């Protein structure tokens, strides 16, 4: 039985007062049946960890360096994240693939760096609209996932996967539950073939998940929760999705 996991991806949003209000709203709504986590900007990790300590709500980062340490100005290592009690690190978000030229191999190296320090990578995969319209969805997500499976090898079953069609992120245009389920089934089969533990692994859906569509998406057999952007910034919306 896979437990539903709902992760808020705050992206580059927030401020100390806004975060305090948001986290207070999430904490007040406990307990949740689902596992719940928030991935916050690096600078807010310390305060987030302090605020959530002792609760079952987890916290994580939105990226991690592939390097262990050294002359990498501006980078944050997995060892540093683990010092702050990070449970998760998002890697390979499409915004980083597109705007920071992150390749499949780099994403895989980041996933490995996270795992080596006990931080669970949430590995994002997803096709652009052009790729979907030209019938390449399956090939693209399988290629993206395959790089990570290869690199993590016998540890691949430790990751969380997030399917995020690029055309659905921040656009208000969600994949239909059937469209999302079809891709999740492909990813699960790939994970099962590679690790033998695909049935136990969590595959999240991300891309314009809102309180009014979350339940339909999460009801699909291979959708194990969500990676939530915009709707994770309002406690009432995020809580409604965690309860969906
Ligand atoms: P969205 O973002 O929910 O605002 O579409 C999801 C994500 O990018 O993780």
Q: Which atom of ligand 1 is nearest to the CA of 230?
A: 4
Closest Cα to atom 9 of ligand 1: 229
Ligand 1 centre distance from Cα of residue 70 (Å): 32
Note the pLDDT of residue 38.
98
Residue 18 has pLDDT above 90, yes or no: yes
Residues with CB under 6 A from ligand 1: 9, 164, 169-170, 206-209, 227-231
Distance, in Å, from the CA atom of 145 to the CA atom of 104, rounded to the nearest integer, reads 8
Ligand 1, atom 3, lies closest to the CA of 229
Q: Whose CA is nearest to atom 2 of ligand 1?
A: 229
Question: pLDDT over 70 for what percent of the chain?
Answer: 100
Nearest to 194 by CA among 161, 155, 229, 232: 155
Could you tell me the pLDDT band of residue 172, with boundaries at 50, 70 and 90? confident
Q: Which atom of ligand 1 is nearest to the CA of 124?
A: 9
- ω into residue 162 within 30 of 0, thus cis? no
Domains of the chain: 5-242 (3.20.20.70)
Three-state DSSP at 61 gives: strand
Pocket test for ligand 1, best of 228, 231, 238, 244 (most atoms within 8 A of CB): 228
pTM over 0.85: yes
Determine the residue of 172, 180, 208 to mutate for testing ligand 1's pocket, defined as the one with the most ligand atoms within 8 A of the Cβ atom: 208
Those residues with Cβ within 8 angstroms of residue 229's Cβ, 6 or more apart along the chain or in another chain: 9, 11, 169, 170, 206
Is the pLDDT confidence value at 37 over 90? yes
Radius of gyration of the chain (CA): 17
Contact 34, 242 (CB under 8 A): yes
- Write out the two tokens for 61: 């980062």
pLDDT of residue 58: 98
């Amino acid at each position: 039985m896979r437990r539903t996991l709902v992760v808020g991806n705050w992206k580059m949003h927030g401020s100390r007062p806004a975060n305090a209000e948001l986290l207070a709203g999430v904490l007040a709504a406990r307990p949740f049946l689902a596992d719940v986590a928030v991935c916050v900007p690096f600078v807010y990790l310390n305060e987030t960890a302090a605020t959530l300590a002792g609760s079952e709500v987890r916290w994580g980062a939105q990226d991690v360096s592939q390097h262990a340490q050294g002359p990498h100005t501006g980078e944050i290592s997995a060892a540093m994240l683990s010092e702050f009690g990070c449970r998760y690190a998002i890697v390979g978000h499409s915004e980083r693939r597109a705007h920071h030229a992150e390749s499949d191999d780099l994403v895989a190296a980041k996933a490995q760096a996270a795992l080596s320090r006990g931080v669970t990578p949430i590995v994002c995969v997803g096709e652009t609209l052009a790729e979907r319209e030209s019938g390449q969805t399956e090939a693209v997500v399988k290629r993206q996932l395959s790089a990570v499976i290869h690199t993590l090898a016998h540890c691949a079953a430790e990751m969380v996967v997030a399917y995020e069609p690029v055309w659905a992120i921040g656009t208000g245009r969600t994949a239909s539950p059937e469209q999302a389920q079809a891709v999740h089934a492909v990813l699960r089969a790939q994970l099962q073939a590679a690790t033998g533990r695909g049935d136990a692994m969590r595959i999240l859906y991300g891309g314009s998940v809102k309180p009014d569509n979350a339940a339909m998406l999460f009801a699909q057999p291979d959708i194990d929760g969500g990676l939530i952007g915009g709707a994770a910034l309002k406690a009432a919306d995020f809580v409604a999705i965690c309860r969906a």
